[in-house]
Amino acid sequence: MSGHGNRRKRSLLIGINYTGSQHELHGCHQDIENVADFLSYRGYRPEDQVVLRDDRPGMQMPTGQNIIRAMDWLVSEPGTCNFLHYSGHGGQVEDPTGRHPTGLLDTIVPVDYEETGQISSDFLHKHLISNLPPNSTLFVILDCCHSGSALELPYVYKSDDDGNISMLDNLKEGVKLFAEGADILSGPFSAYKLAEAKDLYAGATNFFRSWQHRNDPEGLGGSDYQGDYAGERKTVTMFSGCRDDQTSADANIGGRASGAMTWAFLESMRKGAGESYMATLQETRFSLRSSRYDQVPQLSVGWEIDLNQPLIM
């Protein structure tokens, strides 16, 4: 893994406040300004950076078409070190293939989603991971709801409150989540319970799908590229909140609107946690918990990783 620091660096920063809509957020533009400052200290140059935000016109507006075009640009050049930050809404849509147990896919939400739709996890994986040149790297931060499996990466790690980190057993975790969802629905009905159960079922779907990718190398149970996810072995890292709610995604830190996940990650970097994946995940979890945010940060990677190695960024 040596030599990554000498590569050309590219970055794509996407911040969507959905200004003037009933789904308006407030901290997403500030998030990408904070991240841009952070990247400038790590050798990322403005001329190799694309910024999409919904207070800018034309090609810089984060429409679905512009987001996809920018993502394709980001991973188009071999031998590069690439960084993607997304701050905005995350959602879920019905799976058109009908292959997933709950029929749901995680998404990111472009500013024009009502006209063009949301961008699904399968689509994101195909454009960002499958199209990433084998000798390039990609580092991703997703600060949005339902972001845990948004890139469909095969290896997933979490930290508990005591700092213990484990790789999730996707089969057992999926069974557990399905059981929890069913248990919620067994009591008196309410809209809140239905929403909570749907979230648990969606989480179970993601775990089962990830487990299938790792155990179905021929792709017999998935789409043309799904079965190859674990076999791709791309150098991809994603930090995200796991099934966070809207309040966590759009927080108020120090009197300024900011994404809680983005803030916590940058705090961990400021404290030197970038010395290792383990320290970054632990410190990000600690920052969120100490500020009383319930979301659980998650590390997803494209290959089985030594958590004690420095971040490839």
Nearest-angstrom CA–CA distance, 313 and 118: 28
Considering the entire predicted model, what is its pTM? Answer: 0.79
* Number of domains within the chain: 1
Question: Does 173 reside within a domain?
Answer: no
Give the pLDDT of residue 243. 46
Is 178 inside a domain boundary? no
* pLDDT at 205 (0 to 100): 53
The reply to whether 275 falls in a domain is: yes
Helix and strand numbers (H, E) in the chain are 10, 13
Cα–Cα distance for residue pair 296/282, rounded to 1 Å: 10
Q: What is the CATH number of the domain that holds 246?
A: 3.40.50.12660
Catalytic residues: 89, 145
Who's near 260: CB < 8 A, 6+ residues apart? 143, 241, 244, 248, 249, 251, 253, 288, 291, 293, 295
Phi, psi dihedrals of residue 74, rounded to the nearest 5° = -60, -40
Report yes or no on 313 lying in a domain. Answer: no
Indicate the helix (H) or strand (E) that contains 252.
strand 251-253
In a domain, 310, yes or no: no
Domain with 113, as residue range(s), is: 4-168+220-301
Residue 70 located in a structural domain: yes
Is residue 196, in this structure, part of any structural domain at all? no
62 in a domain, yes or no?
yes
What pLDDT tens digit does each residue of the chain (313 aa) get?
445 657 899 999 999 999 999 889 888 999 999 999 999 999 999 999 999 999 999 999 999 999 999 999 999 999 999 999 999 998 888 877 766 555 777 889 999 999 999 998 888 999 999 999 989 999 999 998 766 677 878 788 887 777 777 666 444 454 455 555 555 455 555 554 455 555 555 555 555 454 444 444 333 333 333 445 556 778 999 998 754 333 444 555 555 566 788 999 999 999 988 889 999 999 998 888 887 777 778 888 888 788 999 999 9
Q: Which helix (H) or strand (E) holds 13?
A: strand 8-15
Tokens of residue 5, six digits: 């620091």
